[in-house]
Amino acid sequence: MTARLIGLVAVSLLLLGACTTKSAPPSGKVRLIEGPHAGDLAASVAERLRTSAPAGRSLLVYVGATWCEPCRHFHDAAEKGQLDAAFPQLDLVTFDSDVDAERLELAGYRSNLIPLFAVPGADGRASGRQIEGSIKGPGAVADLTPRLQQLLQPSR
């Protein structure tokens, strides 16, 4: 009888510990997701939006180019995790303005400057909410961060 009682107490303590132990919240990070190189750009962005939103992540279309200095600084900072604290739940679907220009235009993603960061509509097409351009040099990240934070605020 005592062994059984000890066993029940031990199991109860284990269950109690399992119920009260808190796991660390998952650390968020910026995710750079390469957009497809062919096909309907809006449809692919809409599909990505359907997977990001239920996970509590925000999604932006990010258009840059290999020759764009502010784009390179931002992209490098994102890859190195330097933007994770500011944007822990951000997915960026990336496109190259030189490679994807025609498909971007067809989906309504237009800009005079890059980088372009745009909020997609539910159909994957440009919503009209966007920011574009930045300063050259390593200050590009500091220039873009508050502008992106504002862009990510719900529209009124």
For the entire predicted model, the pTM comes to 0.81
pLDDT of the residue at 54: 87
Nearest to 70 by CA among 38, 111, 100: 111
pLDDT tens digit sequence for 76-125: 999 999 999 999 999 999 999 999 999 999 999 999 999 999 999 999 99
pLDDT tens digit sequence for 111-133: 999 999 999 999 999 999 999 99
Q: Which amino acid is at 12?
A: S
Region 8-26 average pLDDT: 37
pLDDT of the residue at 156: 63
Give a three-class secondary structure readout of the chain: CHHHHHHHHHHHHHHHHHHHCCCCCCCCCCEEEECCCCCCHHHHHHHHHHHHHHHCCEEEEEEECCCCHHHHHHHHHHHCCCCCCCCCCEEEEEEEHHHHHHHHHHCCCCCCCCCEEEEECCCCCEEEEEEECCCCCCHHHHHHHHHHHHHCCCCC
Q: Which CATH class is domain 31-151?
A: alpha beta
- Domain ranges (residues) in the chain: 31-151
